[in-house]
Amino acid sequence: MLNFTVKQLAAELAAKRLSSVEVTQYFLKRINVLGKALNAFISVDEERSLAAARGADQRIATGGTGPLTGIPLAHKDIFCAKGWLTTCGSKILSNFVAPYDAHVIERFGHAGAVIAGKTNMDEFAMGSSSETSFYGPVRNPWDVAAVPGGSSGGSAAAVAARLAPAATGTDTGGSIRQPAALSGVCGLKPTYGVVSRYGMIAFASSLDQAGPLAKTAEDLALLLNAMAGFDARDSTSLQREPEDYTRDLLKPLKGLRIGLPAEFFAEGVAPDVVKAVEQAIAELKRLGCVTVDVALPNMKLSVPVYYVLAPAEASSNLSRFDGVRYGYRAPEYSDLIDMYRKTRAQGFGAEVKRRILIGTYVLSHGYYDAYYIKAQKLRRLIAQDFVDAFSKCDVIVGPTSPTTAFNIGEKAGDPVQMYLSDIYTIAVNLAGLPGMSIPAGFGNKSRPVGLQLIGNYFGEAKMLNVAHQYQQATDWHMRMPPGIN
Amino acid sequence: MVLTLDDVKRIAHLARIEVEAHEAEQILVQLGGIFGLIEAMQAVNTDGVEPMSHAQDVMLRLREDAVTEGDQHLLFQSIAPQVEADLYLVPKVIE
């Protein structure tokens, strides 16, 4: 069961060779033993999970089996789940029991999936290493001295260590793709607007998207099928014809055009990452793909643009955390303003405060045009580069991260160094395009390397096709960290 | 843009986050580094470029002006720091 995909587990459940209770117990036991060492989970509620598993078994017994019925899934602690502590990795929500379900949680509930637990993450999704959590850092199952990546590090570690067959995450600047790469699993960020953000604690509203993490591209497609779709409660949710994201998995890749941007292979990528990515591209060519050189000349601006826009939106979104209606309130204060100031000073960690301050500054009087509006204009140039590139290719490919996983504490002292690790993922969020990362081998110290695929708008099925065919010809995605058995 | 300690105190006040004097010094250094990164934006000419706030060219959806939500204040207030008579309690604002 350790290495079963969601698809395989669903087949076992449908054939009644396994029950949801058995499957859930199996993973809960692993969470209990390994979860603490990795610090991958913030909340686990065995009774609740098993009750849901019993419900799923009843559904299965009466013939109601779907692709996710009875499957335990780990959810990033950014999704409100009714009755579950939902902390967003922060002290300011360390006592917040969500009174409602996020759209994503609701969808999985309707599908009969089981909540295995809530995973650890960078505080308010602000980070690339899962080190800023109020609950302490998450460790990489491949090397516990290393970070799993962030901000969805708990979810990535959970899938890598086989604590759950699949998980959810969110991606604002790379927070699904980068931890997937560093932890040797698959992760996908959909086109902006495809998955509803209702009940997903907001960081940067024009960039945030929820997405799945799993061991295979096929599993990502199965989870995306449940997550995607219009939701009237999210004003940015797109109304489109429903899609089956598994529909193109089996298409041969012959003639498919892979775009290779020069900017993804310039200086700054570690040699061990380059080697693995080049081997992956060679494999794609063997499978019939044709490579095309493309250019993303404005990509180098994506980090500065993001670190204006995302903090600006965050400063607005996090202004709701004031100790009035929910969450942490400072124990002592002199008046209302003092209550706000102390609650937020005590409740937020250093990185969150930094970003709120940057955001407040770039939106403030006298600076709005030079920073915020300027960044929005550059955003259009960055997005236009991709439009031009996609006139010449079907899918863009390159490294997800410039390096493999770095050590815990290595970059925590210098925010700018940490920010630069998002260099290949951020532009995808700015443009609102879909992106994914799949395992493509190992680098130094046997740390995983991720291959990033970027699709055109609504091009998830095509990206998943490339990934699935690659995974039929290679087995990086089925490798397991040593010692997690 | 060179940041000063006064800037840090001003934005901390706008953001309603208490920042102690020694913290402000450290924040000033870190923010300085981040603003150094951001300055790269100024090198590119964006005359005539429209700001982009959304990936798709969409309009904000409108809906009927009808009540769709029910009263759940008991549920929502069950997790509040201080509640009395269905009201959230905060320090007095009006003198």
| CB-facing half-sphere around the CA of A264: CA atoms within 13 A | 27
Strand A72-76 vs strand A166-171: parallel, antiparallel, or unpaired?
A: parallel
Contacts of A192 in chain B (CB under 8 A): 54-56
Q: Is the pLDDT of residue A484 over 90?
A: no
Contacts of A327 in chain B (CB under 8 A): 81
Q: Report pLDDT digits (tens) over A117-155.
A: 999 999 999 999 999 999 999 999 999 999 999 999 999
Task: For residue A29, give the H/E element and its range.
Answer: helix A20-30
Contact A85, A143 (CB under 8 A): no
Say yes or no to pLDDT of B1 above 80.
Answer: no
Query: Is B52 a domain residue?
Result: no
pLDDT digits (tens, 9 = 90+) for A160-196: 999 999 999 999 999 999 999 999 999 999 999 999 9
* Mean per-residue pLDDT, A250-274: 96
A289 pLDDT exceeds 70? yes
- Total count of domains within chain B: 1
DSSP assignment letter at A410: S
Give the tens place of pLDDT for each residue, B69-91: 999 999 999 999 999 999 999 99
Given A128, A151, A152, A155, the catalytic residue: A151
Q: Is residue B95 over pLDDT 80?
A: no
Q: Kindly write down the DSSP assignment for every residue of A327-378, as one continuous string.
A: S---S--SSHHHHHHHHHHHHS-HHHHHHHHHHHHHHSTTTTIIIIIHHHHH
Specify which residues A171 forms β-bridges with: A209
- The pLDDT mean for chain A works out to 97
Percent of all residues in chain A with a pLDDT value above 90, rounded to a whole number: 94
User: Which residues are paired to A142 by β-bridges?
Assistant: none
Question: Do B17 and A96 count as a contact with CB atoms less than 8 A apart?
Answer: no
Indicate whether B70 belongs to any domain: no
Catalytic residue at A175?
A: yes
Residue B38 forms part of a structural domain: yes
Sign of CA pseudo-dihedral A7, A118, A211, A145: negative
Best of A301, A361, A362, A433 to mutate (most B CBs within 10 Å, chain B): A361
Among the partner residues A236, A308, A380, nearest to B38 by beta-carbon distance: A308
* Catalytic entry in A49, A76, A130, A401: A76
The answer to whether the Cβ–Cβ distance between B90 and A206 falls below 8 Å is no
From chain B, pick out residues whose CB is under 8 angstroms from the CB of A99: 72, 75-76, 78-79
Q: Is A206 a catalytic residue?
A: no
The residue annotated as part of the active site, out of A19, A20, A175, A437, is: A175
pTM here is 0.97
Amino acid at the residue A297:
P
- pLDDT at site B58: 81
Q: In the structure encoding, which two tokens stand for residue B74, read together?
A: 């008991």
A380, pLDDT greater than 70 = yes
pLDDT band at B93 (very low <50, low <70, confident <90, very high): confident
Cβ-count burial of A138 within 10 angstroms (0-12 exposed, 13-18 middle, 19+ buried)? buried
Distance from CA of A203 to the nearest CA of B (A): 15
Q: What is the pLDDT of residue A18?
A: 97
CA distance A228 to A246: 13
Residue A384 is predicted with a pLDDT of 97
Inter-chain residue contact B34 with A416, CB threshold 8 Å: yes
User: What pLDDT score was predicted for residue A365?
Assistant: 86
Instruction: State yes or no: pLDDT of A41 exceeds 80.
Output: yes
B19 contacts in A (CB within 8 Å)?
345
Residue B62, domain member (yes or no): no
Give the three-class secondary structure for A437: strand
- Cβ atoms of residues A122 and A89 within 8 Å: yes
Instruction: Flag if A323 and B81 touch (Cβ within 8 Å).
Output: yes
CB < 8 Å to B57, chain A? none
Give a yes or no: residue B18 inside a domain.
Answer: yes
Cα–Cα distance list, B51 to A20, A201, A203, A316 (Å): 50, 26, 20, 19
Say which of A99, A301, A356 has its CB closest to residue B40.
A301
Residues above pLDDT 70, as percent of chain A: 100
Does residue B74 lie within any of the structural domains?
no
Look up residue A178 and give its two tokens. Answer: 């980068």
Q: Which residue of A has its CA nearest to B16?
A: A341
Q: How confident is the model over B15-57, as pLDDT tens digits?
A: 999 999 889 999 999 999 888 889 999 999 999 999 998 888 7
A327-332: average pLDDT: 98
Write down the ipTM of this complex: 0.94
Among A324, A345, A354, the residue with its CB nearest the CB of B30 is A354
The parent domain of residue B17 ranges over 5-43
Across the range A236-245, mean pLDDT stands at 96
With CB atoms and an 8 Å threshold, state whether A324 touches B40: no
* CATH number of the domain within which B10 lies: 1.10.20
User: How far does the CA of residue A230 sit from the closest CA of chain B (Å)?
Assistant: 12
Of all residues in chain B, the one with the smallest CA distance to A413 is B30
For A12, which DSSP code?
A: H
Which chain B positions have a beta carbon within 8 Å of A380's beta carbon? 49-52
Of A339, A364, A416, the CB nearest to B91: A339
Q: Is A128 a catalytic residue?
A: no
In chain B, residues 24-83 whose CB comes closer than 8 Å to chain A: 27, 30-31, 33-42, 44, 46, 49-56, 58, 60-61, 63, 72, 75-82
pLDDT for A320: 98
- Which of A206, A345, A360 has the CB atom closest to B53's CB atom? A206
Q: Which residue shows structure tokens 């699993």?
A: A185
Q: Note the pLDDT of residue A414.
A: 85
Q: Is residue B86 part of a domain?
A: no
Residue B5 near chain A (CB below 8 Å): no
Look over chain B and give the mean of its residue pLDDT values, rounded to a whole number. Answer: 91
> What is each CA distance from A401 to A14, A157, A174, A178, A376, in whole angstroms?
38, 17, 9, 6, 24
For residue A330, the model assigns a pLDDT of: 98
Contacts of A301 in chain B (CB under 8 A): 40-41, 44
pLDDT of residue A64: 84
Residue B70's Cβ-count burial label (10 Å; 0-12, 13-18, 19+) is exposed
